[in-house]
Structure 1
Amino acid sequence: MIKKILISQPEPSSEKSPYFDIAKDFGVELVFRPFIKVEGLSPKEFRQQKISLLDFTAVVFTSRHAIDNYFNLAKEMRITIPEDMKYFCVTETIALYIQKYVQYRKRKVFFGTTGKIDSLIPTMVKHKTEKYLVPLSSVHNDDIERLLDAKKLHHKECVMYRTVSNDFTEEEAKSFDCDMLVFFSPSGIKAFTKNFPEFTQGNVRIATFGPATAKAVTDAGYRLDLEAPTKEFPSMTGALQHYLENNK
């Protein structure tokens, strides 16, 4: 019987999160504990890439982490970002997040519709004269670079942050007693195996979001009990709810 589920993400800020409905409807305890955390590069590390933020007229943001670390680095290096800098974001949510650092003006903030870089490309092409900087994580593929090359846009990718293990304290490790674990990234699986090298799955269920995460679970030698997204359940909360209904 599933009584306690560990969700390897930060606790939702909204009380209306479907996770809280699941806890209430099924009488389960949800523990929100990320296995990984994002760490920004230091100015010294960033300078090793020999990139100057002021050489670019536009920045492409694929996540809020990218925004945080771009502006944090600028502040630490005492660089004033020009007022006319343009920002291209993969979603409207990410675009709105820029307000944390600069005044939001539609004429200089643009966003895509799908959450993927593809939907942003047509807008970027309309601004063909811009010099684009693309801040990325230390773990990334070359998809963005290839897409921008194909459109003959002037661009440069750079690493601004990395994902590291959010290690458990000795006390946390001792009191670890969940019936189900929910993972959202391969790096989360890696961090889990680092923190619990002697973990034996037994009756503990494992759920994953995304094909790469699912593969990381089976590659680590664990049994995968629930995989999302699917056509029927595009969200983890929907898949989890359905699983609990059928596995009481």
Structure 2
Amino acid sequence: MKIKNILISQPKPNGYSPYEEIIEKYGLNIDFIPFIRVEGLSAKDFRAQRINVLDHTAIIFTSRSAIDSFFSLSEEMRIAIPDTMKYFCSTEAVAFYLQKYIVYRKRRIFFGKGNLASIIEAIGSKHKNERFLFTLADCYNPDLPLAFEKAGLTFTKAILTRTLTEDLSKVDLKKYQLLIFYSPAEVRSFMENFPDFKQNSTLFGTFGNATAATLKDANLKPCFQAPTPEAPSIAQALTNYLEKDK
């Protein structure tokens, strides 16, 4: 089937993205429409978790929204974060985002390559005795804290953000031959908005095992997944699929 229109369930990237090359090379259209939105928890909801931030010596961040929520809550609750606090982030981009709130110091800020294994690798033996505050969204993947448990790390789970479903009633699904999801929450939003959807000839791409599993639970089948050794990103997985589909 000739793919002419693709829908990605994320906000449009700021600045350059690899999707621009895909659009130009294959002569297709890509629309970016967020299927979910994330908001920070209130101080009341955070207090209900009975977490003392200052009992911890390091913080795990996997998203910019978690960083925003953490420092907003810290200010509202008048928690003075010590200069000795260490930060471990999922990617370099997330780590750099910390500059919005703190002075970026390499001895205190570490980052992985977009997966949990790389964060644990960044922690290594040098930092394994830290007491970690693991910041999460309300619909977090249970594999995340499980990996920390298996690594023998001491941590506390802290829910900092909640995920809300966007209204997609104005989206014309008939326009698109391929839909791409980055998270299980986006798949759930899709099914809530289109409960009677039948796959038929519609194609799907997914990022992450949990996203693919959620799609399959909805009786829908992805035509490609990322990350894999051949396709560490969705953009590469999409390129590989388009090459095969020529």
Q: Do they superpose with TM above 0.5?
A: yes
Which residue number corresponds to residue 44 of structure 2? 44
In structure 2, distance between residues paired with 1:90 and 1:198: 36
Q: Which has the larger radius of gyration?
A: 1
* Partner of residue 236, structure 1: 234
Residue identity opposite 2:14 in structure 1? S
Equivalent residues of 1:145, 1:157 under 8 A apart? no
How far does the alpha carbon of each residue in 1:217-239 deviate from its partner, in whole angstroms, 9 at most, with x for none? Answer: 22212233223333333322122
Give the aligned partner of residue 190 of structure 2.
192
Q: 1:178 aligns with which of 161, 171, 176?
A: 176
**Residue 124 of structure 1: SS of its match in structure 2?**
coil
Cα separation, partners in 2 of 1:19 and 1:48, compared to 1, 3 Å: same
Aligned residue for 2:39, secondary structure, equals: strand
Counterparts of 2:244 and 2:89, CA distance in 1: 40
- The amino acid across from 1:37 in the alignment is R
Q: CA deviation at 1:102?
A: 0.7
When the two structures are aligned, how many residues end up with a matched partner? 239
1:108 aligned residue:
108
Deviations 1:157-216 (A, max 9, x none): 221112222222x4x235762121011222211110111112232222112222322222
Gapped regions of structure 2 (runs ≥ 5): none
Q: CA deviation at 1:31?
A: 0.3
Distance change (3 Å), C-alpha of 1:200 and 1:158: same
Gapped regions of structure 1 (runs ≥ 5): none
- After alignment, is 77-86 or 180-189 more displaced? 77-86
Q: CA-atom RMSD, angstroms?
A: 2.4
SS at match of 2:23: helix
TM-aligned CA deviation for residue 110 of structure 1: 3.3
In the alignment, does 2:67 pair up with 1:67?
yes
Cα separation, partners in 2 of 1:238 and 1:134, compared to 1, 3 Å:
closer
Report the Cα distance in structure 1 between the residues aligned to 2:47 and 2:161, rounded to whole angstroms: 13
1:143 and 2:146 are equivalent in the alignment = yes
Return the TM-score normalized by structure 2.
0.84
Structure 1 residues 6-25: aligned runs within 5 Å: 6-15=7-16, 17-25=17-25
Amino acid paired to 1:158: A
Q: Corresponding residue for 1:224?
A: 222
Q: Is the 8 A contact 2:40 2:66 kept in 1?
A: no
Taking only the aligned residue pairs, the percentage that are identical comes to 43
TM-score by structure 1 length?
0.84
Encode CA deviations 1:65-113: one digit per residue, 9 max, x unaligned. 3222211111222333233333233443332221110111233323446
CA distance in 1, matches of 2:45, 2:164: 16
Tell me the residue number matched to 2:82: 82
In structure 2, the partner of 1:28 is 28
Residues 38, 161 of structure 2: 8 Å contact kept: yes
**1-side partners of 2:115 and 2:189: how far apart?**
26
| Residue-by-residue CA offset, 1:24-46 (whole Å, 9 max, x unaligned) | 11111100112122221110000
